[in-house]
């Protein structure tokens, strides 16, 4: 079952912050975040593997609450280059001890940053 992303779309001014949420109905082993610009392939942002883990990538960071089966992506002081569609991908292997490569993506969150 697809994870649910919220919001579906968000419009920001440069310098503003945004949070994108990803919620799954299944227990998770990992959460993957990607960004896709129009007409291009998705590009990897980060993977989160442990409960409560938080990672950063420039001014983009993410958290993963394994117990709540949720992840959030934080975009701080947004730049024009942050515009695109953000996807979370979740992995729920049977054993919860290793990954399998079966990744289920959410429907995406479209972010538009305006000058």
Partner 1 sequence: EAQVTQNPRYLITVTGKKLTVTCSQNMNHEYMSWYRQDPGLGLRQIYYSMNVEVTDKGDVPEGYKVSRKEKRNFPLILESPSPNQTSLYFCASSLRGGRGYFGPGTRLTVL
Residues that bind partner 1 (CB under 8 A): 2, 30, 32, 34, 40-44, 47, 49, 87, 89, 98-108
Question: Which tokens belong to 103?
Answer: 């990744």
Query: Shortest gap between Cβ of 11 and partner 1 (angstroms)?
Result: 18
Nearer to partner 1, 13 or 98 (CB): 98
Query: Shortest gap between Cβ of 47 and partner 1 (angstroms)?
Result: 7
Nearer to partner 1, 34 or 82 (CB): 34
Nearer to partner 1, 101 or 115 (CB): 101
Query: Shortest gap between Cβ of 78 and partner 1 (angstroms)?
Result: 22
φ, ψ of residue 82 to 5 degrees: the values are: -80, -10
Q: Which residues pair with residue 73 across a beta bridge?
A: 20, 62
How far, CA to CA in Å, does 23 sit from each of 2, 40, 61, 62?
Answer: 9, 25, 17, 13
CA 87, chain centre distance (Å): 5
């Amino acid at each position: 079952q697809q994870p649910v992303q919220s919001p579906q779309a968000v419009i920001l001014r440069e310098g503003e912050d945004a949070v994108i949420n990803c919620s799954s109905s299944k227990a998770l082993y990992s959460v993957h975040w990607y960004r896709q610009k129009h007409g291009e392939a998705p590009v990897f942002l980060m993977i989160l593997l442990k409960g409560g883990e938080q990672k950063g990538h420039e001014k983009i960071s993410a958290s993963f609450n394994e117990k709540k089966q949720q992840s959030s992506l934080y975009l701080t002081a947004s730049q024009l280059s942050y515009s695109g569609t953000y996807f979370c991908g979740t992995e729920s292997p049977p054993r919860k001890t290793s990954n399998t490569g079966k990744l289920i993506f959410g429907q995406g969150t479209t972010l538009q940053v305006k000058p």
